[in-house]
């Protein structure tokens, strides 16, 4: 599969996850599926910038306990920053962003598990 097609599939999958989490009313809402696609793209860009800044500052996020906690907090911050760039994405404060980040992680895990069961 070509890299462009893979990026498009990842964006559509991320948008689907954001849209599903939005429908669960867990602190994150999107106005439409197109807003979810835009949110997926903006979240990816913000996450890349934050990861680049952390690596530029030589900050290592690791460890079996601290790593996932820090990653979850960074995911919540990414959601809050992305909320500022998109009018169709609404995050209900840091707690809402934290709950949404957990939900996005769980829904992404379930989708990846189902895709793995189907053999893709």
What is the model's pTM? 0.78
pLDDT at 1: 59
Mean pLDDT of the chain: 85
The string of pLDDT tens digits covering residues 48-63 is 888 788 888 887 776 6
Q: How many helices (H) and strands (E) does the chain have?
A: 4, 2
pLDDT at 115: 83
Question: With DSSP H G I counted as helix, E B as strand and the rest as coil, what are the percentages for the chain, rounded to 5?
Answer: 75, 5, 20
Distances (CA, A) of 44 to 7, 66, 103, 116, 118: 11, 23, 17, 23, 26
pLDDT at 2: 75
The full DSSP string for 51-82 is HHHHHHTT----STTHHHHHHHHHHHHHHHHH
* pLDDT for residue 116 is more than 90: no
The string of pLDDT tens digits covering residues 78-95 is 889 889 988 999 999 999
């Amino acid at each position: 599969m070509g890299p462009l097609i893979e990026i498009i599939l990842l964006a559509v999958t991320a948008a689907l996850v954001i849209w599903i989490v939005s429908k669960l009313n867990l602190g994150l809402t999107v106005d439409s599926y197109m807003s979810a696609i835009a949110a997926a793209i903006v979240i990816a860009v913000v996450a890349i910038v934050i990861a680049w800044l952390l690596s530029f500052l030589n900050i290592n996020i690791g460890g079996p306990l601290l790593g996932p906690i820090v990653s979850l907090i960074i995911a919540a911050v990414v959601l809050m920053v992305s909320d500022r760039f998109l009018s169709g994405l609404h995050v209900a404060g840091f707690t809402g962003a934290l709950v949404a980040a957990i939900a996005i992680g769980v829904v992404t895990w379930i989708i990846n598990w189902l895709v793995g069961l189907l053999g893709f």
